[in-house]
Amino acid sequence: MLHEIRVIFGDTDQMGVVYYANYLRYFESARAAYWRALGKSYKDLEDAGVALPVVEAHCNYRRPARYEDLLVVDVDVSEMRAASLRFAYRVLRGDELLADGHTRHAVIGTDGRPRALPELLRSTIPRVVGPPR
């Protein structure tokens, strides 16, 4: 799934490049768009009694992004386990790879304990085929 983001001035550091931690915000924005593209939202997760806290995050920084760049974040679920999901990301400016990475999310219930991803949501996620192209 592809998600567009325009770099705003507040995303950049004193050197005029996107501050490294903002890539995690881009990942989050792409995850929310991913759920919306499937006809769901984080609200649906809450209604199903689950949350997906990030338990691992990794980003490889390849090239700098700058103010006003139009970025595309390619996001897919790259792994689905009984009680966790792994999202894989690629951040592109045109055909140029700027960053790639992943986040792993535990599936927890309202009591904060691990639980299985509800079938309603599991069946919504397209068949996992690996990291984004």
Q: Where are the domains of the chain?
A: 2-122
Tokens 């980003």 identify what position?
A: 59
Q: How far is CA 61 from CA 7, 28, 119, 126, in A?
A: 16, 17, 35, 27
User: Structure pTM?
Assistant: 0.90
Which amino acids are annotated catalytic? Answer: 13
- What is the DSSP secondary structure assignment for residue 82, as one 8-state letter? S
- For residue 103, with 0-12 CB atoms within 10 Å meaning exposed, 13-18 middle and 19 or more buried, which class applies? buried
Does 12 have pLDDT greater than 90?
A: yes
Q: Which amino acid is at 46?
A: E
The helix (run of H) or strand (run of E) holding residue 43 is: helix 42-47
- Domain range 2-122, CATH class: alpha beta
Beta bridge partners of 5: 71
User: Measured between alpha carbons, how far is 114 from 10 in angstroms, rounded to an integer?
Assistant: 36
Task: Dump pLDDT digits (tens) for 22-79.
Answer: 999 999 999 999 999 988 888 888 888 899 999 999 999 999 999 999 999 999 999 9
* Average pLDDT score over residue span 97-119: 94
